Structures are given as structure tokens and as C-alpha cells.
Chain A
Amino acid sequence: MAAVVPGNAAAPAVPAVRTRRREWLAALATAARTPRGAIGLTLAGLIIAVAVIGPYLAPHGIAEIVGPDLAKPSAHFPLGTDYLGRDVLSRVLAGGWVLLLMAASATAIGVSLGATAGISAAYLRGVADGAIMRTVDVILAFPQLVFALLLLSILGPRLWLITLAVGITHAPQVGRVIRAATLDVSEQDYVKAVELQGMRPAKVMAKEILPNLVTPLMVEIGLRLTYSIIIIAGLAFLGFGQNPPAASWGELINDNRAYLAVNPWAVIAPAVLIALLTIGVNTYSDAIARVAIGVDRRPEEAALLDDLGPREAA
């Protein structure tokens, strides 16, 4: 993370932001040109397109009973019908966008909360650091899905509350990573310089530190987006999602799995879509991590090795 730093201490913050902006766009583009990144981006883009355009292409309504129960795939119903005689294809096409919207929002909530907490902890030090990191420790003692379920049992299973709960469960993990990165950045000369000029801590964090955390933030966003999709689809599968007759892909799998022996396509189609979406997003964010950090290892492996394993003087 060799920071490309405006050399002059008095340089206004804006050029730094611009450099960074070009840098993260460049990282996204470079990642997309690697074989892995290209495959991941294509897959993810394809499934996102299905989810976004799908509702407009659906031949039937999601609640419309159009044929016999559990019909096999035919020219009329390409994926057959479900246990109530509804068109599986239409329900699958309509069931993606809510998952995507929730996952994106949960990621945004989690990364913003986590970044705010991590930067504040590292920059303010002292009591703030202690309080934030002890809170993080306590939350990290819950398995993530269990914490989400606990929050749901308190908040109630509404869509925006599920989104909020998943976002909150991401925050401590993000906070930990961003805190470590901030500790490095806040030692830099340009930060010391603006501090001596009397810049307020809030402004230092927003204008000087945040723009220099683009790399770890990008990696975190990719990682958390994958987990958001997985957890939100999983919660929907467990029955914590939209109210019937609306159903996202996770719920479709759960609703139709009792009839797997009769019409497996009602399960296979949403399962394949979720699988390709998570593989695509994860593969692309893996490519970004490799480009941005410049290692041939995933960041978590590198962290573990540094922590415990044989270390070579770099």
C-alpha cells in the first residue's frame, strides 16, 4: 500500500481525492482484465441483469395461477409450475432484485458503520479506541448468522430490519480491518502536517485519512457484498424474507424443495442463479484484492501467515 502522497504538505486535499478516485477505477479496470476478474465480472453482470430486467420479462404475474400444479417444463412453462400452479419462470425472474437491493444496502450500511468505527478508533485512540474495540470484540464473539438471527428475533422480520441487521453484523469485521489500515495512514507526514495546521480531527479523518483507505475499503466492499448475498439469501431460505406470494430466490428454493422429486427445476433455477451470482461477485472481488494488494494470496491468508507463520524479511 505504498501511498501515492501529494508531496507538499500544504497541498489541498482535493487533488489527493482525485488521484485516489482514478486509482480505484484503475484497480477495478485492471482486475476486470485479469482472466479471473473477467469471468467474475461477466457472471455477476449477467445475473444482475437477470435480476434487474427479469421482472419486466416475466410472462406471468408472481401470484397468477396459470396451469396445473407441479407441471413438468413445457413450451408453455419453460421451467414448469410450482405446487400452486404458478409459473416458475416468472417467479424466478421476479425474485432477484429484492435480494440484490438488500445485499447492496446491507453492504453499504456495514462498510460505512465499520469504516467510521475503525477510523475513529485508530485516529482518536485512547478511550474511544478502547470502547469501540471492546464492543467489536463482544460482537465478534457471535457467529455472524446467529447474531443476525438474534437481532431479527428482537427487531422483527421486516425486510429493512433484516437488511439493517445484516449490515450491523458486518460492521465489526470491517472495523477491525479499517482500524489497522488507519493506524498506518495516520502516521504519515501529510496527516501530521495538517494536524499541526490545526485541522479538526473530524476533518482530518474525512479529508485526509478516508481517501487513503480506498484499497482496503474496496477489498472489504467486495468481501462483504458476497457475504451479504449469502446471508440474506440464507435468511430468506430459513423463512425470514418477503411475505408470500412475493418470493426471492432463497425463499423459492425453500418453498419448492418439498416437491423436488416432481419438479426439480423450481429449485434448480434459483439455486443456480444464487450460485453464479455469489461465484461471480466473489471471483471479481478476489481479482480486485489481488490487483489492489498485489499479493497472490487472499488477504485473510496473508494476515494469518504474518501473524503466526514463518516470516521472511520483506
Chain B
Amino acid sequence: MAVAPAPVPAGQHAAPPQAQPAPRRAEHPFRDLLIRRLAIGILTLFVIAILVFLATEVLPGNAARAALGRNATPAALHALEHQLGLDRSLASQFWSWLSGILTGHLGASLANGQPVWAFIWPRLINSLVLVAVTGIIGSVVGILLGATAALRRDGRFDQVSSVIALAVTSLPEFVIAISLVILLATTVFHVLPAIALIPPGTYAWQEPKQLILPVVTLALVIIPYIMRMTRAAMIEALESDYVEMARLKGVPEREVVLRHALPNAIAPVIQVIGLNFLYLAGGIVVVEYVFNFPGIGTGLVSAVTTRDIPVIQLIVLILTGFYILMNILTDVIALAATPRRRIAR
């Protein structure tokens, strides 16, 4: 799916518009910015923790009712409510839940009785491997394709790649995934496994062959965005006065591209790469499910199906925390990569 990572504007908490004269120059603009963004991020995460907690614990059907079903006897309900601590005050429940997350003692999954952290930890590692490998491959390929398209603007490569990119960004991830399965696993060729068979106790990187299809699927989703952004930013840089100047001076074209255009085009590209890491936090859910990849995405889907509330809460918090962290990192790195912004501060 192409959930187009909607541009989460960086502007909001970032530097003031450069048109304004900077009233005072902070001594450590980056450290200050980083600290401020981190503080806002932690605050947001805390608000989200409260919301997730309230929504899943209090709203229709609490955890005990969800676990026992509609026909539970009042006595059984009371017993389980007491066991889960649902009869205590909200604040005290929230506090023990939050400290449980931070200390790793979070109680058991309602669906399988396993401790929640023990259930999620190996899945988290697998998902991180998937996201990291996809992000790196997707960024490199996307930048290369985008820069090529910009240098041959309106040529055949540019036109064809732009149409393909639009088509691919329109496709839901599970359609891309299923097409790859049909093409490479079940029907046309039989070269790759259709579902990831990663036995419990082994991690994803120990089974590289099982990683190929999920990584290719997710990379296909993010490459078009990175490619288009690189193309747009490179074209804008290549048309600029300083590139014109460098060319007039007789700087070799290769050097014009690598030393003058690319560094000035890189900030928006970093921004869009960050957005695609953000996208991956949601995109892994469907793609992991297609390949039965043992990550937190499949964990979330099965937890929502069984209404396994402790697992839902923790996975949602992890994904949101990742999302917030990537958002901060993206803004800070993009800002650091924009020379003019540094000066403006």
C-alpha cells in the first residue's frame, strides 16, 4: 500500500523560517533542538500510553470480559478482574502497567498465557531486521534510480520509471506480495519459499532466504517514493544558479553532480527516507502477515483477532515509539544536512 507517508511537516517544531532574522544564536542549536524534540516525543508517547491504556482497558468490554467471552459467569469475571487488577483504581492500574513495560514484567498474554515481553521480544528483533534491511536496500536503489532519472530528465528512462513508480505506489502491499508469491514461489517459478518458515528460537538473519520476499515487497513499496523525491530534488538542484556557475567555470559534469548538486539535494531525500521508515512501521503489519513472518506485525494481527489486550497495547506502543523516534531523527538529520538552515539558526 502505498501508504504514502504523508509528509509530516517538519516545520512545526523545527527551525524558524529563515526569512526572520535570528533573534539570538543559541550556542548549541542542535543539542537544544534535539533535547526539545526528544522532550516533546516522550510527552507524546506518554499521552499515547494513557490513551492506549484507557481505550483498551476501559471502553466496551474490559480485558477480563474479552478473555472469557460474552457468556462468562459474574463470579468468574470477578475472579479474573481481581487477578488482572481491574478492580483497582485506574491510576494505580496505569502505573503498574507502565512500570511493567519499562521493567519487562508485564504479565501474561491473554491468548496463550506466555509472558507478554517473552512473546514479543524475538518478534521485535525479527521485525527490526526486516525494517533495517529493507530500508537500506530501498534507499540505495531509490536514490540511484532517482538520480539517474534526473540526469536523463524527460528521456525514456525517466518517463518509463515515472509511470512505473506511479503504478507501484498505487498498489496495496499485499497485492505486491501476492504477485511476487505467484511469480517466484508457487506458480510461475518455484525458487523461493511462499511463507517464511522461521522456527521459534531462530532469528530472521539466520534464514536469509526467508527474508527475500518480505524485503523485496517492502522495498518495492518504498523505492518509488525515494526515487521520485531524489529526482525532484536533483532537478531543482541541477537548475540552480550555483550549478550553472560551476558549469560555466568548467567544472567537469561528474563533479558538478557529485559535489554541487547531490549534497544540496540530499536533505529532502533524507526526509523522505525517514518518512519511509515511518511507513515501514505500519507496512510490516500486512507484509509480515502475508509471509507469516514471525514479527510484531503478525503478532499484532493475531492479537487483534483474539482481542489479546496486553499484547495489543505493547505492540502499539512499540510501533508508535518507533514512529516518534524516527520522526525526530529524520528532522534532526535533515536539518543537519541543510547548510543554509544551520546558518539561519
Give the B-binding residues of A (Cβ under 8 A).
36, 137-138, 140-146, 149-150, 152-156, 173, 176, 223, 226-227, 229-231, 233-234, 237-240, 250, 253, 257, 260-261, 264, 267-268, 271, 274-275, 278-279, 281-283, 286, 297-298, 300-301, 303-305, 307-310, 312
Residue from the list A150, A274, A286 in contact with B312, Cβ < 8 A? A150
| B312–A279 touching, CB < 8 Å | no
Query: Is there an interface contact between A304 and B236, defined as CB atoms closer than 8 Å?
Result: no
Range of interface residues on B (Cβ < 8 Å): 35 or more
Contacts of A153 in B (CB 8 A): 56, 303-304, 307, 309, 312
**In the complex, given contacts A154-B59, A223-B4, A253-B178, what are 15 additional A-B residue pairs having Cβ atoms less than 8 angstroms apart?**
A36-B166, A142-B320, A143-B281, A143-B320, A146-B281, A227-B2, A234-B1, A237-B172, A278-B171, A279-B167, A305-B236, A305-B268, A307-B268, A308-B341, A312-B236
Q: Which residue of A lies closest to B272 (CB)?
A: A304
Task: Identify the stretch in B29-37, B96-104, B282-290 within 8 Å (CB) of chain A at 4 or more residues.
Answer: B282-290
Given contact pairs A141-B48, A150-B316, A274 touches B172 in the complex (Cβ within 8 A): yes
For the complex, what is the distance from the CA of A301 to the CA of B170, rounded to whole Å? 16
Write the nearest CB–CB distance from B136 to chain A, whole angstroms: 20
Q: Which residues of A contact B278 (CB under 8 A)?
A: 143
**Chain B interface helix/strand/loop/mixed:** helix
CB nearest neighbor in B for A279 = B170
Among residues of A, the one whose C-beta sits closest to the C-beta of B66 is A153
If A146-B282, A234-B1 touch, does A138 touch B182 (CB 8 Å cutoff)?
no
The residue that B282 contacts in the complex, of A137, A144, A274, A279, with Cβ under 8 A, is A144
| Alpha-carbon separation in the docked complex, A286 to B186 (Å) | 34
Asked if B175 is an interface residue, CB under 8 A from chain A, the answer is: yes
Residue in chain A with minimal CB distance to B340 = A310
B120 at interface, CB cutoff 8 A: no
Q: Are B169 and A282 in contact (CB under 8 A)?
A: yes
Known: A153-B307, A298-B228, A301-B232. A309 touches B267 (CB 8 A): yes
Pick the interface stretch among B6-14, B86-94, B110-118, B211-219: B6-14
Contact: A309 with B265, CB < 8 Å?
yes
Contact (A149, B304) CB under 8 Å given A143-B278, A283-B170, A300-B6: yes
Q: Could you pull out 10 A-B pairs where Cβ atoms are within 8 angstroms?
A: A142-B320, A143-B3, A149-B285, A173-B6, A227-B4, A253-B178, A271-B178, A300-B6, A305-B233, A310-B233
